[in-house]
Amino acid sequence: MSVNYPASRKAVVLDRLQHLENVVLDVPPLHKNEVLLRVRSVGICGSDVNYYMNGGSTIAPVKYPHILGHEAAGDVLFVGDNVSDIHVGDRVALEPGYPCGKCSYCREGKYNLCEHISFMATPIYVPYSEGAFVEYSLRPSFGFHKIPDSLSYNEAAMMEPLAVALQAVEAGDTKMGMAALILGCGPIAMCVLLSLRAAGVTNIYMIDIVAERTAFAAELGATAVSQSLNSEFLQKIYDETNGRGLDLVFDTTDCAPLVNQSIPAIRKGGKIVLIAVPHHDAISLDIVTLFKRQISVSTTFRYANQYPKAIRLVANGQIPIHRIITHSFGFDKADEAFQLAASRSGNVCKIVLNW
């Protein structure tokens, strides 16, 4: 049975600071290289909460009305005449970045660094920057990843934060048997934890000031957790690594003092991977100690070529990504969901919105 191309779509727009409005919008016409996605699930990212609460970020200020959301999954509803590798009816996870495909970074496979990339829901208003809080999303054919029937739409939406974590684990040159410390116990940190466990990292330590979050990290498999990086916890790390110390530190907090506190626990030749988006012009790290101990610092920006791996790891049971989803709401209760996300309540990890 044929389906008519929809004329309108429901949407949730940020129309002013800390207020989301349910509206009806036109569906743009389908062009030959585009795909119309019936959105099913969208995760709420920390960047979405920042735009909602503060009206912008270090990237740019929001221009209202603004459509949030970039962690999306759904069904392919229509495809353009030139699209051959995506088919109507495919269940997919949607990669939210759209690179140019022509610059040197794209040709090297590092399309996350593309100078002309368009990214869903960011307040840089270029083609395809519209967010995913819409019933139907019109996208270029790039970035659609078919998911197996065993994956729910909610799980598929989590491929985006999981891709961030997998990229970070890759940036750390992670190997089986290593010892790692994760600073923070938010959603990205939990994705790093699950990714490290899948990579065979045996000792994983986690820090967060919120007790409920560290308790949740322990439930998900952290070796040991603490609410502070105190001397007792540092000694525990040394004892449990036979005096060697940490191979890796992953920072999801953007807290330079906490990163500095972790440096004495890192072995010579170890590595720090900075994941958190900086909200300051500069941070001050203990460069003298880093130099003396030959500890390298790596940054990681979004991801490239990680979605297929993420889908495989979840589909084969190596990463139980469903466990980080603690709450789900219908899009008619988006404001309630965002207020909960912004509360930073200890029992909240990942919130997903569903049509």
The model's confidence at residue 279, banded by pLDDT at 50, 70 and 90, is confident
For residue 303, the model assigns a pLDDT of 98
For 228-243, how does the pLDDT look when each residue is reduced to its tens digit (9 = 90+)?
999 999 999 999 999 9
Percent of residues, the chain, with pLDDT higher than 70: 99
pLDDT tops 90 at residue 181: yes
Gap between the Cα atoms of 155 and 159, Å rounded: 7
Gap between the Cα atoms of 243 and 236, Å rounded: 10
Cα 333 → chain centroid = 22
Burial of residue 219, with CB atoms counted within 10 A of its CB: 0-12 exposed, 13-18 middle, 19 or more buried: exposed
pLDDT tops 90 at residue 292: yes
Min mean pLDDT across 22-31, 57-66, 245-254 is at 57-66
- 314 contacts 159 by C-beta, under 8 angstroms: yes
- The full 3-state SS of the chain, as one line of letters, equals CCCCCCCEEEEEEEEECCEEEEEEEECCCCCCCEEEEEEEEEECCHHHHHHHHHCECCCCECCCCECCCCEEEEEEEEECCCCCCCCCCCEEEECCEECCCCCHHHHCCCHHHCCCCEECCCCCCCCCCCCCCECEEEEECCCEEECCCCCCHHHHHCHHHHHHHHHHHHHCCCCCCCEEEEECCCHHHHHHHHHHHHCCCCEEEEECCCHHHHHHHHHCCCCEEECCCCHHHHHHHHHHCCCCCEEEEEECCCCHHHHHHHHHHEEEEEEEEECCCCCCCCCCCCHHHHHHCCCEEEECCCCCCCHHHHHHHHHCCCCCHHHHEEEEEEHHHHHHHHHHHHHCCCCCCEEEEEC
Which residue from 197, 198, 252, 186 is spatially nearest to 43, judged by alpha carbons?
Answer: 186
For residue 313, the model assigns a pLDDT of 98
**In the predicted model, what is the mean pLDDT of residues 59-63?**
89
For 102-161, how does the pLDDT look when each residue is reduced to its tens digit (9 = 90+)?
999 999 999 999 999 999 999 999 999 999 999 999 999 999 999 999 999 999 999 999
Torsion of CA 271, 168, 353, 23, to 10 degrees: 110
For residue 343, the model assigns a pLDDT of 93
**In the predicted model, what is the mean pLDDT of residues 310-339?**
97
For 338, phi then psi, to 5°, come to -70, -35
Q: How many CA atoms lie within 13 A of 93 on its CB side?
A: 29
Distance of CA 198 to CAs 114, 253, 296, Å?
Answer: 29, 23, 24
For residue 59, the model assigns a pLDDT of 78
Length of the chain: 355
Give the count of beta carbons closer than 10 Å to the beta carbon of residue 328.
15
**What is the model's pTM?**
0.96
Distance of CA 102 to CAs 107, 109, 111, 181, 220, Å?
Answer: 6, 11, 10, 38, 41
For residue 1, the model assigns a pLDDT of 56
Residue with tokens 């506190």: 261
**In the predicted model, what is the mean pLDDT of residues 180-209?**
98
The model's confidence at residue 11, banded by pLDDT at 50, 70 and 90, is very high
Q: What residues contact 10, with CB distance under 8 A and at least 6 apart?
A: 22, 23, 24, 134, 135, 331, 355
Gap between the Cα atoms of 110 and 126, Å rounded: 20
**In the predicted model, what is the mean pLDDT of residues 194-219?**
97
